[in-house]
Amino acid sequence: MQRSLQRAVARASLADDRDLAGRIRDDGQRLVFLLNGLVRSSRLYQAGNAAVDALAAEAAQMLGRLVGLLGAAHVVAVEDQIYVNEIRVRMKKLEQELLDQLVAELGRHEAGGLSFHAPLEPEDLKALARALAGPAGEAGHGRSALAARLAGLPGVEVGGKYRFRLKGEKPSTRQDAAEVLRRGASVVEDTLARLAAGRLPHPLLVRRVVIDLVDALDADSRRAATVALRQGETGPGTQHLLAVSRLALRLGRALELPDAALSDLGVAAMLHDVGYARGSDRDAHAMAGARMLLRQRGFHEGKIRRLQATIEHHSSADRSPCLFARILRIADDYDVLTASRPGAPPLPPATAQAAMWAARGTVYDPDLLALFVQAMGLYPPGSLLELSDGRWVVSVSGGRDAERFAWPLARVVRDKEGRVRDGAEEMDLFVLREFVRPKRVLNPASHGVDVGAALEAVQRGTP
């Protein structure tokens, strides 16, 4: 008990930075004091007044310090309290009035706070103060009106009033991979937009999707393996990130990575190509992505490994990149080879896998690729096969075990007479192996077959 207590305290101490919190409390208090002073002065004095200039200069310096320390400073007003990056600003009794004033000013504009993603010049802060001191917008539009007035200031966001939404919350639907991926798509695209705009990375949002995805994989690996986003719901770029995440997590699970590492891997996978968000090309996007992700402050093992993986995910295994990079390389290449892209027809999954197998040990980590292939089977989900009896089937299971590696579960999409089927009929090729076997792998694109229908039948749970 003593040892586990020591380890727990050590781990928690690493994550909990009280020194930093103390500094934020002190600097945050000063910043709030200065902001309030600026707003009040804006009402009392003309622009260019020396007192206002001095306040603005000091506020700019304080804000610069906080942003330098944290990457972004968030001033949030809640009821009668103000928080700076979740640390409550404590004022003496006599100074509470100052807090109340700033809360009231923000409240007039229906705003709950201000976020600063970059330092501001004194002139910018004066403009901010004038906007806050100015008339509020129409009821229900106050915040957006204020945001519009502040649009010219770099990196300033106006936050909503921090209320609690007790209605309309969805309980976490962890077992539905398709739902999770849909949510993941919007989180990823939102994250990319923020990163492209120079905002700080916010991996937590992505991590929440990842842990739900892990649970979905665990709850029903077969459905999770066959889930696919419908075309048109989101673009190939986003689909790629989500597919790589799903594949990487499957490989991570096959490796039996602990949950903490698995969630780090998932986050790394979802963000590995962020470098493209600012228009980088294939050669430059790895380091470009790392530079965007580097802005995040605070030590976390997930961040270290994510940065490594982002930089190295196109490196060959023989150059010894980190584990996450080697995993991502496999997942990344598999998806690039098998996904439909403009001007680049996809390879059948089995063919793509075989091509990767040929580079096992050079491009791909031999053990990781072996695990990947075990998880996917000889005929990965989505493989279109012609059976020895003439039927066409789509593989809908991964490699179940060594014995059934080459004998997947499959859904019939064409019968012996050549008639199209809807994929509702399922066969276990292992059970039927004495009667029928896979004869050849077909390219769906060449034969005009939509394997998605069969995969969707699995999602619907038919038969």
Partner 1 sequence: MSDGADGTVEPRTPFPTGAEAEPGEGGGQKPQGLGPRYQRVATLLTRLASTARSFLLYDAGNEAINRSLSALLDSALSTLQVEGQIALTVQPYELKFEDQTVYLNRDRERSLAFRLYRDGVRGLTFRKGFQAEELTRLLEILSIRYTGVNQREDDMVTLLWKARFEHLDVTTVEGIVPEETDAGDEETASSRRLVLPDDVDLPRPTLPPPKGPTWIDVPPERLRALREEAGEAALPDDCLALLGRLRRALSDSKEQLPFGEVAHLFGEVRDYLLSVDRLPALKRFGALLWEMAGEETPEWDPQRHAAVYDLLDSCGHRRAVRRLLRSVPAEERKLRPELIEVLDRVCPDPLVAVMETLDEEEGLATRAVARQALEHYSRRKPGLLEQRFLLSRGRMASDLLRVMAHVGGEASVAFVAQQCLHPDAAVQDEALWHIARTPYSGVLGRSLFEAFRRADPDRRSRILEIVARSGDARFLEPLTRYVEERGDGLGTDEASRIGRVLGILGGPESIARWKAWLQPAGGRRKGFEAPLPRIVAAATALAFIRAEAAAEALGAAFDEADETSQPWILGALAQRQRQAWEAAR
Q: Phi and psi of 409, rounded to 5°?
A: -75, 145
CB of 337 to partner 1, least distance (A): 6
Element (H, E) at 367: helix 366-376
Strand partners, 385: 393, 441
DSSP symbols for 109-157: TT--EEEESS---HHHHHHHHHHHHS---STT-HHHHHHHHTTTSTTEE
Nearer to partner 1, 124 or 264 (CB): 264
CB of 360 to partner 1, least distance (A): 8
- Measured distance CA(242)–CA(426) in Å, rounded: 27
383 binds partner 1 (CB under 8 A): no
Q: Which of 35, 120, 217, 277 binds partner 1 (CB under 8 A)?
A: 277
CB of 251 to partner 1, least distance (A): 10
Strand pairing class (409-414; 384-387)? unpaired
Q: For residues 410-429, b (16+ Cβ closer than 10 Å) or e, as one string?
A: bbbbbeeeeeebebebbbeb
Stretch that binds partner 1, among 18-26, 49-57, 388-396, 407-415 (CB under 8 A): 18-26
Q: Which of 119, 122, 201, 423 binds partner 1 (CB under 8 A)?
A: 201
CB of 445 to partner 1, least distance (A): 15
Strand partners, 358: none
- Measured distance CA(267)–CA(251) in Å, rounded: 14
- Residue 450 three-state SS: coil
Q: Which of 93, 94, 164, 417 binds partner 1 (CB under 8 A)?
A: 164
Count interface residues toward partner 1 (CB under 8 A).
Answer: 143
119 — alpha (psi -120 to 50), left (phi > 0) or beta? beta
Interface with partner 1 in residues 350-369 (CB under 8 A) = 351, 353-360, 363, 367-369
Nearer to partner 1, 19 or 417 (CB): 19
- Residue 84 three-state SS: strand
Q: Which of 57, 336, 420, 427 binds partner 1 (CB under 8 A)?
A: 336
Stretch that binds partner 1, among 38-46, 99-107, 180-188, 381-389 (CB under 8 A): 180-188
Stretch that binds partner 1, among 32-40, 371-379, 422-430, 443-451 (CB under 8 A): 371-379
227 — alpha (psi -120 to 50), left (phi > 0) or beta? beta
Residue 242 near residue 233, CB atoms below 8 Å: no
> C-alpha angle 183/187/192, rounded to 5°?
150
The burial class, CB within 10 Å (0-12 / 13-18 / 19+), for 350 is buried
324 binds partner 1 (CB under 8 A): yes
- Per-residue mark of binding to partner 1, 401-430 (x: CB under 8 A): -x--x-------------------------
DSSP symbols for 305-373: HHHHHHHHTTS-GGG---HHHHHHHHHHHHHHHHS-BTTBPPPPHHHHHHHHHHTBTTTB-HHHHHHHH
Q: Which of 56, 125, 129, 378 binds partner 1 (CB under 8 A)?
A: 378
For 164, 238, 288, 325, the CA distances from 294, given in Å and listed in that order, are: 32, 21, 10, 17
Q: Which of 63, 178, 371, 387 binds partner 1 (CB under 8 A)?
A: 371
436 binds partner 1 (CB under 8 A): no
Interface with partner 1 in residues 121-160 (CB under 8 A) = 140-144, 147, 159-160
Nearer to partner 1, 37 or 444 (CB): 444
173 binds partner 1 (CB under 8 A): yes
260 binds partner 1 (CB under 8 A): yes
Amino acid at 412: V
- Residue 422 three-state SS: coil
- Residue 213 three-state SS: helix
305 binds partner 1 (CB under 8 A): yes
Q: Which of 99, 106, 178, 241 binds partner 1 (CB under 8 A)?
A: 241
CB of 61 to partner 1, least distance (A): 18
Stretch that binds partner 1, among 117-125, 127-135, 399-407, 421-429 (CB under 8 A): 399-407
Nearer to partner 1, 362 or 462 (CB): 362
Nearer to partner 1, 40 or 360 (CB): 360
165 binds partner 1 (CB under 8 A): yes
409 — alpha (psi -120 to 50), left (phi > 0) or beta? beta
Residues 6+ apart with CB under 8 A from 295: 71, 200, 201
Nearer to partner 1, 52 or 210 (CB): 210
Nearer to partner 1, 48 or 258 (CB): 258
Nearer to partner 1, 421 or 437 (CB): 437
Interface with partner 1 in residues 69-128 (CB under 8 A) = 69-71, 78, 81, 83, 85-88, 110, 112
445 binds partner 1 (CB under 8 A): no
